[in-house]
């Protein structure tokens, strides 16, 4: 079977406005001046960075893509992703805290909530005074999220929720205010419900012992006859599956930006090390083998940045972006893992010591190929966009 090729739509420009560039510089300085001196100790203690989060809230980072009427900054998704890239150049735990709070915690409310729901919950989330979480993944339903087993049964004016969610970011902090939960509300139909933190029957398990992202908050959640009012249904009943697919499409751009930041951070640290570390009487950066590694790292970070900015520009312009988001997430996460490995190699034995940022980056990189859609899922989405699923 052959198909008639169609001309691709012109790509929107993704050059930065002066406002975008000012934001990028501001977050870059914040990451260098505030996060970098503190994060090593927090990371080793597996401590959540409450003071850093408070300062990010005061800067308006949690409200970047939301309208001012809900307490936001009136920006766009590109602004959020610029902030994520600059944060991840220094630390991914802080970056994923912002990413999950905005694109997974608050964005479903903004996209699908009623006016009353938005005005009730969004202002505190936009100020960073409260964090939202997204309860999607389950022990038996990860990439196959359509296999959700958590249930929600209507009982008069309430929904009764039972089930388990796992790997939920921002779900157990002192400032977590709500979890948006996907649940089966009738056979074959998944809906989305807002569950406030502290609701009776909601149990937050102890924090996971993780390989990386040690200063981010991640828990398993269990729901045992958790009752929430009927008006906590988010959007139309039975549309939860479609809702979270769209939310994840947007979130993949954000994860691609975060991945790019980690890749750039690996290059930043390796350049500094190559200029100051001497072996055999000269800086190791004078050796062509090291120069080529650094050149390849720079090329990878650049191409990753290009992919996520293209996807973000398409999203902002209202153009189709699903395929470009999958490409960005697939490529940038691969780049992050590769640059982290090469940075560790350049640092030699010191790259295996936790006092060096590249050791933290190496530990943080792998999850980027898994979270918010594995690399295998991204390839499935890209192949589907190419029409191969119809063969």
87 contact partners, CB below 8 Å, separation of at least 6? 27, 31, 35, 94, 95, 98, 258, 261
User: What's 157's DSSP letter?
Assistant: T
Closest CA to 357 of 376, 370, 369, 344: 344
Q: Are 88 and 360 in contact (CB under 8 A)?
A: no
CA 321 to chain centre: 17
Residue 63: closest CA among 137, 142, 15, 123: 123
Cα separations in angstroms, 213 against 49, 69, 331? 12, 33, 20
- Catalytic residue chosen out of the listed positions 129, 355, 372, 376: 372
Name the nearest CA neighbour of 294 among 261, 270, 262.
270
- In angstroms, what CA-CA distances link 233 with 69, 154, 229? 22, 11, 8
The question of whether 22 is a catalytic residue gets the answer no
* Radius of gyration for the chain, computed over Cα atoms and rounded to the nearest angstrom: 21
3-state class (DSSP) for residue 12: coil
**Count of H-run helices and E-run strands, the chain:** 12, 9
Positions marked catalytic: 372
């Amino acid at each position: 079977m052959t198909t008639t090729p169609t001309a691709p739509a012109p790509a929107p420009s993704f050059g930065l406005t002066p406002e975008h560039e000012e934001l990028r510089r501001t977050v870059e300085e914040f990451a260098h001046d505030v996060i970098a001196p503190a994060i090593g100790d927090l990371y080793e203690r597996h401590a959540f960075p409450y003071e850093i989060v408070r300062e990010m809230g005061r800067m308006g980072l949690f409200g970047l893509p939301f309208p001012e009427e809900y307490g936001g900054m009136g920006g766009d998704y590109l602004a959020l992703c610029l902030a994520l890239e600059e944060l991840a150049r220094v630390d991914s735990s802080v970056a994923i805290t912002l990413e999950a709070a905005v694109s997974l915690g608050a964005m479903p409310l903004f996209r699908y909530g009623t006016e009353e729901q938005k005005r009730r919950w969004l202002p505190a989330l936009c100020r960073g005074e409260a964090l939202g979480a997204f309860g999607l993944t389950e022990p038996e339903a990860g990439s196959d999220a359509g296999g959700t087993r958590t249930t929600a049964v209507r009982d008069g004016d309430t929904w009764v929720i039972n089930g388990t969610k796992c790997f939920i970011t921002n779900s157990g902090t002192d400032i977590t205010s709500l979890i948006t939960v996907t649940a089966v509300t009738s056979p074959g139909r998944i809906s989305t419900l807002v569950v406030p933190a502290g609701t009776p029957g909601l149990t937050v398990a102890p924090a996971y012992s993780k390989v990386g992202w040690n200063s981010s908050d991640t828990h398993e959640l269990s729901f045992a006859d958790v009752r929430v009012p009927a008006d906590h249904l988010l959007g139309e009943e039975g549309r939860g599956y479609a809702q979270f697919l769209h939310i994840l499409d947007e979130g993949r751009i954000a994860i691609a930006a975060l991945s790019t930041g980690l890749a750039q951070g690996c290059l930043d640290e390796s350049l500094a090390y190559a200029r100051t570390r001497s072996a055999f009487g000269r800086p190791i950066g004078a050796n062509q083998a090291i120069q080529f590694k650094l050149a390849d790292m720079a090329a990878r970070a650049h191409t990753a940045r290009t992919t996520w900015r293209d996807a973000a520009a398409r999203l902002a312009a209202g153009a189709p972006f699903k395929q470009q988001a999958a490409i960005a997430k697939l490529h940038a996460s691969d780049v992050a893992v590769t640059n982290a490995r090469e940075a560790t190699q350049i640092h030699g034995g010191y790259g295996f010591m936790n006092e060096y940022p590249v050791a933290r980056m190496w530990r943080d990189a792998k999850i980027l190929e898994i979270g918010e859609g594995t690399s295998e899922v991204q390839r499935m989405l890209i192949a589907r966009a190419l029409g191969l699923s119809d063969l």
